[in-house]
Amino acid sequence: MIGPIFHRLADAPTPVAPYSHAVEVDGWVLVTGQLATDPDDDATPLPEGVEAQTVKTMENLKRVLTGLGLGFEHVLQARVFITEFVRDYAAMNAVYARYFPDDRRPARTCIGVTGLARGALVEIDFVAKRP
């Protein structure tokens, strides 16, 4: 067993709480949930609407994966947390689906929650595996 390795990445969004961007052990990579924060300016307000927030969240996850030398093709599981489940589920799914080929989508859980950090509408985390 090698690890754990606690990754803090310079190009990833500033953590909104005390955590690492990812923790890795034996090639398994647990990617911390990301919000729609601006990785270049943490003070920038979150985008309006679940579609825009889902795009920004997925792009932030892409930054973390890229910083680890990984991509969406290495993602095996995702967890999605949304604050307005009934209203935003379909719209979030439409954006999320664009990031994975139809025949290679990760296992996923989607959970309606009462609130997220920074008043976000969506947060997504990943489990990935190095090849």
CA distance to 1, 59, 131, per residue, from 128 (Å): 17, 16, 10
Tell me which of 37-41, 46-50, 51-55, 94-98 is least confident. Answer: 37-41
- What is the structure's pLDDT at 1? 62
Model confidence band, residue 14 (pLDDT cutoffs 50, 70, 90): confident
pTM for the predicted model, two decimal places: 0.95
CATH assignment of 5-73+87-129?
Answer: 3.30.1330.40
Percent of the chain residues past pLDDT 70, beyond the cut: 99
Give the residue carrying structure tokens 């993602």: 75
